[in-house]
Each structure stands twice: as C-alpha cells, then as structure tokens.
Amino acid sequence: MPPRGVKSAKRKRQYEHIKRSESARGRSNKVAERIAAATTNKTRRAKGETKG
C-alpha cells in the first residue's frame, strides 16, 4: 500500500518497484515498505506533487 497522498499510477509503480528491490536486497518487509514510502514521498516533494 503506497503512502496516503499517492494518487498517480506512476508513483504507485515506483513504490512497488522500490519495495521489491529492497526486499531482494535482504531487507525485512516492514523496512522495505518504509524505505519505499520515504523515497516516493521525497520524489513527490521534489517534483511539486504535494500540497504545500
């Protein structure tokens, strides 16, 4: 489940890809989800996709 503010299909795919990549590197599922959410949110902020 991507972060709450993620609405675009592109960001959902990004989240899932990062989560799978981190899991493949041996991270636990919970940690992989946290890293994927943080990275996705960071990208959204940088691209101006967030509210404020």
pLDDT at 51: 81
pLDDT at 8 over 80: yes
Q: Across the chain, how many H-helices and E-strands are there?
A: 2, 0
pLDDT of 52 > 80? The answer is no
Reported pTM: 0.90
Per-residue model confidence (pLDDT) at position 1: 82
Spatial neighbors of 51 by CB under 8 A, at least 6 apart, are 5
Whether the CA torsion 6, 52, 31, 25 is positive or negative: it is: positive
Per-residue pLDDT tens digits for 9-44: 999 999 999 999 999 999 999 999 999 999 999 999
- Tell me which of 2 and 42 has the higher pLDDT: 42
N-term to C-term CA, the chain: 23
